[in-house]
Copies of this chain bind each other. A is one copy, B any other.
Amino acid sequence: MTMPPLHALQAFEAVGRCGTMTTAAKELGVTPSAVSQQVRKLEDCLGVTLLERIGRRVELTSWGVIFYKEIAKGFTQLSHSVDVLERARNQTGIVLTALSSVVNKWIGRKIFEWQALYPDANVRIIGKDDEPKMANGQSDFRITYGKRAEVHTHFAALYTDWVVPACSPRLLGMHKLNAPGDILTFPLLNIEWEPHYRRPPQWSEWAELVGAACKDKLSGLFFALSSSAIDAAVNGHGFVLGQMSMIEDELNAGTLVVPYDIRLPLPESYYLAWDRAALEKPYGREFHTWVMSIARKQSALSAPKSGSIT
């Protein structure tokens, strides 16, 4: 018998594992309609009823139970395959996971310093927004933000970042800014993190800091990723309250400018977490030391200079 379509098998496996079409659909990232159609296609292909539809519930038929048990082994094995490869690769080097924006705009840029220092060391940097499980080899080191670090056994504060209003020089054009509050008349890009991170400073707070009129709705543009907001600002779409650690290269390159260097601190620190076993890997301790070192430098760079408005 010819193999049924793989997506149909996958849909059925998810239904068998999840118990309902709706939860299976959520897990697969598709609509229940898609799952329904795929399972129906599988049944047509095999010539057997796998699910009994009971009103708005579904149950595996006897055939479905037999088939699901076998299919599940196959998909478990496939999923396991990816883990096996991942683990094999991790064993050969250091793995750091960090928030995506931190990867894109900070550690992913600094890592070349590390490489110059230790050219023989393998380090893989992975953008990952949820906390990895260090103990089962998902990551050796983790950079995260705020209290999320507490889910790890070992962690230390890295740096507290500050934000500053920045924009593309093209946005200013011929406009002349007479006072900090004038910035608020431009398109403003907002950053809104997931609820388990304390929100970063918003434009309303900055407006209050500079004593400007604070409108209820300053802008309708929201970004989940700080790096995306920064990129949008670079592209001239508005002002962003950019984190100092993340816009260093842009300031140096002139793709972003800071008309008024009036900064606000993030409410919490970035943290480095690590798996104890990682320190015993080749270059593990050195990597740990290096990250802490560049973080100290970043603390100094991010904070406002002495005598500046805070």
Task: Give the residue name and chain of the B residue nearest to A80 (CB).
Answer: B70
How many residues does chain A have at the interface if contact means C-beta atoms less than 8 Å apart?
Answer: 29
Q: Which of B3, B10, B80, B89 contacts A79 (CB 8 A)?
A: B3
Any B CB within 8 A of the CB of A86: yes
Per-position contact with B for A5-16: 1 when CB-CB < 8 Å, else 0? Answer: 011011000000
Shortest distance in angstroms between A85's beta carbon and chain B's nearest beta carbon? 5
Residue of B nearest to A77 (CB): B74
- Give residues of chain A (64-78) contacting chain B, Cβ–Cβ below 8 Å: 66-67, 70-71, 73-75, 77-78
> Cα distance A233–B135 when bound, in Å?
71
Task: Tell whether A82 is near chain B: CB-to-CB under 8 Å.
Answer: yes
Number of copies: 2
Once A6-B7, A10-B6, A75-B74 are accepted as A-B contacts, the answer to whether A67 and B46 lie under 8 Å apart by CB is no
Query: What separation, in Å, do the CA atoms of A75 and B10 have in the docked complex?
Result: 12
Given the known inter-chain contacts A78-B3, A78-B9, please indicate yes or no for A85 contacting B63, CB distance below 8 A.
Answer: yes
Say yes or no for A37: interface residue by CB 8 A criterion. Answer: no
* Bound CA span A81–B82, Å: 21
Q: Is the CB of A85 within 8 A of B10?
A: no
Chain A residues close to B by CB (< 8 Å) = 1, 3-4, 6-7, 9-10, 46, 48, 63, 66-67, 70-71, 73-75, 77-86, 88-89
